[in-house]
Amino acid sequence: MKRAWMRWLPAALVPVAFTAAALAGSYQAGAATSLPHKSPADVIAMMGHANVQALSGTLQQTSDLGLPSLPTTGPAATQGPASTLELLTGSHTARVYMDGPSKARFQVMDLLAERDLVRNGNDVWLYNSADNSAAHVTLPARQSAERTLPSAPATPGMTTPEALAQRFLAAVEPSTDVTVGDGTMVAGRTAYPLVIAPKSNGTLVESVTIAVDSATGLPLSVDVRARGQAASAFSLAFTEVNLSAPDVGLFAFTPPPGAAVEQKSLPAVPAQKAMPMVPGASGKALPVHPTITGSGWDAVMAFPAGAMPSQARTAPLLSQLTQAVPGGRALTTSLVTVLMLDDGRVFAGMVPLERLQAVAAAK
């Protein structure tokens, strides 16, 4: 990884609009332990210079977002939009294996099924045992060559503490207090708790705690707490981790007999990340440019009409998870709020609904 830590601190809002599933995770901390003193800058620098090239372990995710319960068994629980949203409720376990820049395996363990993502070089397989279906994707050469551990393709709704920590480090700015707590134990390893706390009272986020391995700088857990909520809203933690190379056979995948296999291909990734596209007046696709109102933790992202697919807006599951509000529907959780207006515009942020409505009314 060996990235300068300042590259993790852009003056931009964490893209919360449609990435609630990436904010999942449990801060499985043990008893306090004595460690040499380090400042917040020291701990962030440790993360930036971390060079873990291989690992295997078990991740425990818990979430308490205030969302209604979704099916946890049967095909409906592990297919379509319900698959990702179900991972935002309750507790989930995953096995993760990584070796170098292009080998990764995630196994999300469901009650009566398993979801797998396996990457081996340019080849990526996704498998769902609930309906014995598989998808094969060939990564573009540029994407395959440039991705480095642990940025291999992530299982939908499941990510690593390191990837999640990067998202919150991007929000560190003058509007944030950053401190280091007493040393702790996570997955049997000593760690420095880096505590990120917004200064503003206008955000739903109370604090984010990242447990950073004292030996390697690898984030071992992320705990996200919401204002006025005793339990963690999201947490993701290693309950066990081994920093040696996994067995190479774990990265080989062959679809089981009778599996329905879908072949997919991805276009080459351009030098700059492309923006989402919406139809223009001429019928041609135009890039979506979200606008940002405010800054830091209070910021609100606004997407123009057409940015959210119509099939997503009319999905029955969306009606189950949202509430009717004047002029549209709203998804309200303990950490993220999304306002979907009848005119097609979408507003999102780590702020209360009233803040989104005020921004929408002013545009």
222-270 pLDDT per residue, tens: 999 999 888 899 999 999 999 999 999 999 999 999 999 999 876 554 4
Here the tokens at position 165 are 């920590």
Here the tokens at position 329 are 């529907």
Q: Name the DSSP class of 23.
A: G
Element (H, E) at 68: none
Tell me how far the alpha carbon of residue 11 is from its chain's centroid.
19
Q: What is the pLDDT of residues 142-191, one digit of tens each?
A: 544 444 334 333 433 347 888 888 878 876 777 789 999 999 999 999 99
Indicate the class that CATH gives domain 15-265.
Answer: mainly beta
Give pLDDT, residue 353: 97
- Alpha helices for the chain (secondary structure H): 40-48, 80-86, 141-146, 161-169, 310-313, 316-321, 353-362
Q: Is residue 155 packed enough to be buried (19+ CB in 10 Å), middle (13-18) or exposed (0-12)? A: buried
Assigned CATH topology for domain 277-362: TATA-Binding Protein (3.30.310)
Please provide residue 318's backbone torsions phi and psi, each rounded to the nearest 5 degrees: -65, -40
C-alpha dist (Å) from residue 308 to 14, 81, 222: 19, 14, 29
Q: 5, 48 in Cβ contact below 8 A?
A: yes
Q: How far apart are CA 141 and CA 280, in angstroms?
A: 31
Q: How far apart are CA 291 and CA 45, in angstroms?
A: 31
Give pLDDT, residue 14: 28
Q: Is the pLDDT of residue 277 over 70?
A: no
- For range 206-233, the mean pLDDT: 94
Give pLDDT, residue 268: 52
Here the tokens at position 20 are 């609630």
Domain locations in the chain?
15-265, 277-362
Q: 139, 193 in Cβ contact below 8 A?
A: no
Q: What is the pLDDT of residues 332-354, one digit of tens each?
A: 999 999 999 999 999 999 999 99
Highest mean pLDDT among 5-9, 164-168, 217-221 belongs to: 217-221
Please name the residue that has the structure tokens 């893209």: 15
Q: How far apart are CA 243 and CA 89, in angstroms?
A: 29
Q: Is the pLDDT of residue 12 over 80?
A: no
Q: 286, 275 in Cβ contact below 8 A?
A: no
Q: Render 89-121 in DSSP notation, one character per residue.
A: SEEEEEEEEEESTTEEEEEEE-SS-EEEEEEET
What sign results for the dihedral spanned by CA atoms 163, 67, 333, 324? positive
pTM, to two decimals: 0.77
Please name the residue that has the structure tokens 């056979």: 249
Q: Is residue 313 packed enough to be buried (19+ CB in 10 Å), middle (13-18) or exposed (0-12)? A: middle
